[in-house]
Amino acid sequence: MEIVDFSLIIEEVEKLDSQALVVFDVDETLIIPKDRILRPCGEQYLHTLAARFGKDLSEEQHKELRSITLLQREIAYTDSSVPLLFQKMKEKNIPSIALTAMPPGKYGVIPSLEEWREEELKRSGIDFTLHSPYKNNLNFTEFGEKTPLIFHRGILCSADYPKGPALKAFLEKTNIRPSRVIFVEDKKSNLVSVENELKNMGVSYLGFHYVGAMKFNEEVSEELAQCQLKHLVMNKKWLSDREAKEVLNNHPL
């Protein structure tokens, strides 16, 4: 079911019992960067400018700069009713987890991406440790050792693996059998993957294809983006849109 806001999700949550499970993708579903160049609408500019300003950098240096950007960026809710939704789930004691394609482990100057993600979400008011039906951490070695699938404090990191099998593995390893699963995700392929696995398990399922993040696809200023990428490479500091505008006002390119 395609949705542009969270109103229908809140309606469905009102119908759930405490044996259900609500599963959320994170990026472009729950949160989105405030700076335009870091959103999907800025992806083309980001790759082009990163290649231009970072052409003499090694892959490790690129990772370092990308990790600095992750640490210093600011995020916003994709929908203003996200806090209300989590409050409703808390009131009804409905479990919830995050299911993200983000790989776990060290990345650039970030020692642990899973811990970084947990803290970033907490700063925005989303704490999956309060909602998770399973309180321990898990490693799924059957998915491989190079980029392992892990469950960290309410966040299931599927890395390069399909989200359906990842969620199935989590449910089987924890012996959790939800009365119903609601999955909110911005990519259709992930919705299909989860639906197929839960159908085979005989678990009631409702998927929401969230496209509301498209409202953030605003025009990107190439001049602003150049300032941000150039400053990042030279100073190892990410400038927000507001900070970059101030720099350009004082020192035009």
- Among 16-30, 49-63, 79-93, 186-200, the minimum mean pLDDT is found in 49-63
> What's residue 129's pLDDT?
95
Q: Which domains does the chain have, with CATH numbers?
A: 2-34+76-205 (3.40.50.1000), 36-73+221-253 (no CATH)
Higher per-residue pLDDT: 238 or 218? 238
pLDDT tens, position by position, 236-246? 999 999 999 99
Q: How far apart are CA 186 and CA 209, in angstroms?
A: 5
> Beta 149-152 vs 31-33: how paired, if at all?
unpaired
Q: How far apart are CA 130 and CA 132, in angstroms?
A: 6
The pTM score is 0.94
